[in-house]
């Protein structure tokens, strides 16, 4: 009799464990489906905002405005160079719960700027710079067939809708997919507003206890979108290569005189769009850094103080010295690890372009939490002692996490530089018996010194802004600027956050201006 009782108890426990496991699987599947729907909605809204603003900016800057084009072309580059956490902090300082517009009474203190709305807007504004840069680089080559005749007959607006937009649809779609991929794989914005996408769900729920379904879904969406970009590349390869300098094509300037009214309209539109992309966020950080609230006769009075702004910047520069140091060390580590790998991949890309480009796209848009989980398992759970030491006492794991973004970007930049150079000298050296290392060292390296410097800057910017891939693999006691701001932003943007972001933005924009001045000086020579 006791035996049957024990057997019945064991069977009951097994059935209970099976039921609990089934409920856990159902909960996991439900959570993954909900995260997938949230990710898709974010991708659609962010892409729509980015395409609308970015395409309009590209058309206005390359077709309707002739004055100050160098400045209008520089603004998207500066906006792209700012990490996403700075965009998030800037818009949170503008419209968030402690934003200066709600605090000053200009907008209502509601909760409209949260969740999907806030995440889509920030990703859309940041992505608009990518659309403006990609489409603008194509339009810079010259007028499309029939575009000038349409502008003369029907005006610039109808010509844009009937000729220019259909003529740039491939690059417009490709840039939209690019924005969608960034929205699907980044967590620095959605985690701030508690909007759980697949990437954020992997980071928040499954980093320490991996589940296959959410991880596979988080990787599936980027891979599908990468396939879409590759198909667009194959459909319009010659058209897409023209902005890279790989094919000769339209290079003649436009001869249509826009007129004063059209020029003024274009300048006003560009000023408004540039304000949305970069000027208003940076001004908001400056306003928030000097925002004060004082009690006078029992009433609260708010305003801006230059003394408070100066004190905030001074405090941010001195209080977070450790964060600046570790950010610089991570950037140096990432540069040392990225440039050799990117150089070899871009050299191989001259002969196997499709293979290298597809590999770069897939690596670029694997969600950061998935990358960090792989690195964490490799270094801390492999059982190899020296890997464990590296994981706890070095920045190499964090540098590897940065490389999943920096290596593809730098490889694509260098591939474009290789395509823009004359290959006849390289072919002659190969015929004479020079090996690949000799050709790379003595022929190609002097030619791509400037692109290599740009790649170093791009890697430093990626290291400055990377959160999703480095958060789980940082050594104990190490905190970068991005990690510190990412933690502080969850309680709103106040003095410390605004000061940190202003200093980081100033450094990045100063570097962009430095590169622009150097390039202009070299071009005059």
What's the rounded mean pLDDT across residues 444-469? 85
**Residue ranges with strand state E in 298-379:** 299-304
What's the rounded mean pLDDT across residues 511-516? 87
Distance CA 144, CA 151 (A): 11
Please give the DSSP secondary-structure letter assigned to residue 381.
Answer: S
Higher pLDDT, 57 or 221: 57
What's the rounded mean pLDDT across residues 306-329? 87
Is the domain spanning 18-249+256-292 CATH 3.40.50.300? The answer is: no
Look at residue 207 and tell me whether its pLDDT is greater than 70: no
296: phi then psi, degrees, rounded to nearest 5: -125, 115
What is the reported pLDDT for 6? 36
Q: 471 vs 80, 126, 250, 305, 322, CA distance in Å?
A: 22, 22, 46, 35, 17
Confidence band of 127 (pLDDT split at 50, 70, 90): very high
Mean model confidence pLDDT for the chain: 78
In the block, which residue shows the tokens 């909960």? 27
What's the rounded mean pLDDT across residues 141-146? 77
Return the bridge partners of 293, or none. Answer: 302
Confidence band of 257 (pLDDT split at 50, 70, 90): low
Q: Cβ distance 482 to 327 under 8 Å?
A: yes
Of 300-314, 354-368, 420-434, 490-504, least confident by mean pLDDT is 420-434
Look at residue 247 and tell me whether its pLDDT is greater than 90: no
Distance CA 470, CA 187 (A): 12
Length of the chain: 525
Q: Can you tell me whether residue 142 is helix, strand or coil?
A: coil
Which residues make Cβ contacts (< 8 Å) with residue 371, sequence separation at least 6?
401, 404, 469
Distance CA 252, CA 233 (A): 24
Six-digit token string for 361: 């796209």
What is the reported pLDDT for 274? 92
Q: Please spell the DSSP secondary structure of 301-366, one letter per residue.
A: EEEE-HHHHHHHHHHHHHHTHHHHHHHHHHHHHHHHHHHHHHHHHHHHHTT-HHHHHHHHHHHHTS
pLDDT tens, position by position, 418-431:
776 666 766 777 77
What is the reported pLDDT for 48? 94
Other beta carbons within 10 Å of 127: 28
Which residues make Cβ contacts (< 8 Å) with residue 162, sequence separation at least 6?
150, 154
What's the rounded mean pLDDT across residues 123-143? 89
Look at residue 20 and tell me whether its pLDDT is greater than 60: no
Confidence band of 18 (pLDDT split at 50, 70, 90): very low
Look at residue 256 and tell me whether its pLDDT is greater than 70: no
Nearest to 483 by CA among 496, 495, 492, 474: 474
Is the domain spanning 320-493 CATH 3.50.50.60? The answer is: no
Candidate ranges 21-35, 286-300, 369-383; pick with highest mean pLDDT: 369-383
For residue 359, give the H/E element and its range: helix 353-364
Of 57-71, 139-153, 253-267, 398-412, least confident by mean pLDDT is 253-267
What is the reported pLDDT for 89? 87
Six-digit token string for 332: 């140096």
pTM attached to this predicted model: 0.82
Q: Where in the chain is the domain with CATH 1.10.3720.10?
A: 18-249+256-292, 320-493
Distance CA 229, CA 170 (A): 9
Which parts of 140-259 fold into alpha helices (H)?
147-154, 156-159, 165-167, 169-185, 198-205, 212-235, 237-241
- With pLDDT > 90 as the criterion, what percentage of the chain qualifies? 13
Q: 163 vs 60, 156, 270, 448, CA distance in Å?
A: 15, 10, 21, 36
Q: 394 vs 233, 376, 416, 428, 476, CA distance in Å?
A: 40, 13, 33, 45, 10
Confidence band of 243 (pLDDT split at 50, 70, 90): very low
What's the rounded mean pLDDT across residues 495-514? 86
Q: Please spell the DSSP secondary structure of 100-130, one letter per residue.
A: HHHHHTSS---S-SSHHHHHHHHHHHHHHHH
Distance CA 220, CA 34 (A): 15
pLDDT tens, position by position, 81-116:
898 889 988 888 888 777 777 777 666 555 678 888
């Amino acid at each position: 009799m006791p035996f049957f009782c024990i057997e019945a108890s064991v069977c009951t426990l097994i059935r209970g464990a099976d039921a609990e496991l089934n409920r856990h699987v159902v909960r996991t599947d439900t959570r993954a489906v909900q995260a997938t729907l949230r990710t898709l909605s974010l991708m659609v809204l962010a892409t729509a905002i980015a395409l609308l603003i970015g395409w309009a900016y590209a058309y206005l800057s390359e077709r309707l405005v002739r004055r100050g084009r160098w400045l209008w072309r520089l603004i998207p580059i500066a906006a792209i160079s700012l990490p996403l956490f700075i965009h998030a902090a800037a818009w949170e300082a503008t419209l968030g719960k402690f934003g200066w517009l709600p605090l000053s009474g200009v907008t209502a203190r509601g909760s409209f700027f949260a969740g999907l709305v806030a995440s889509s807007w920030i990703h859309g504004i940041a992505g608009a710079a990518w659309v403006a840069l990609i489409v603008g680089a194509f339009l810079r080559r010259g007028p499309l067939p029939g575009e000038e005749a349409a502008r003369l007959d029907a005006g610039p607006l109808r010509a844009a809708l009937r000729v220019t937009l259909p003529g740039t649809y491939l690059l417009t779609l490709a840039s939209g997919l690019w924005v969608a991929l960034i929205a699907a794989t980044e967590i620095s914005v959605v985690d701030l507003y508690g909007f759980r996408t697949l990437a954020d769900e992997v980071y928040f729920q499954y980093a320490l206890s991996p589940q296959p379904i959410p991880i596979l879904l988080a990787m599936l969406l980027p891979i599908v979108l990468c396939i879409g970009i590759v198909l667009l590349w194959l459909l319009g390869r010659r058209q897409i290569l023209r902005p890279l300098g790989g094919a000769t094509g339209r290079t003649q300037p436009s001869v249509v005189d826009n007129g004063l009214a059209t020029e003024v309209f274009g300048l006003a539109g560009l000023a408004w769009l540039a304000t949305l992309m970069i000027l208003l966020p940076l001004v908001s950080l400056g306003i928030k850094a000097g925002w004060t609230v004082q009690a006078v006769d029992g009433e609260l009075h708010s305003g801006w103080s230059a003394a408070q702004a100066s004190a905030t910047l001074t405090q941010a520069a001195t209080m977070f010295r450790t964060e600046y140091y570790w950010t610089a060390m991570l950037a140096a580590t990432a540069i040392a690890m990225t440039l050799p790998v990117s150089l070899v991949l871009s050299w191989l890309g001259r002969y196997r372009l499709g293979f290298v480009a597809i590999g770069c796209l897939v690596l670029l848009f694997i969600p950061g939490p998935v990358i960090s989980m792989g690195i964490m398992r490799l270094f801390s759970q492999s059982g190899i002692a020296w890997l464990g030491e590296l994981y706890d006492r070095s920045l190499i794991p964090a540098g590897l996490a940065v490389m999943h973004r920096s290596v593809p970007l730098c490889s694509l930049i260098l591939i474009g530089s290789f395509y823009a150079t004359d290959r006849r000298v390289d072919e002659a050296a190969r015929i004479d018996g020079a090996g690949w290392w000799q050709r790379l060292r003595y022929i190609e390296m002097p030619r791509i010194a400037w692109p290599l410097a740009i790649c170093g800057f791009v890697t430093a910017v990626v290291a400055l802004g990377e959160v999703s891939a480095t958060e789980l693999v940082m050594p104990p006691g190490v905190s970068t600027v991005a990690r510190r701001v990412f933690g502080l932003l969850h309680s709103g943007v106040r003095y410390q956050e605004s000061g940190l972001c202003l200093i980081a933005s100033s450094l990045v924009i100063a570097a962009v201006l430095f590169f622009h001045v150097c390039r202009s000086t070299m071009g005059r020579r």
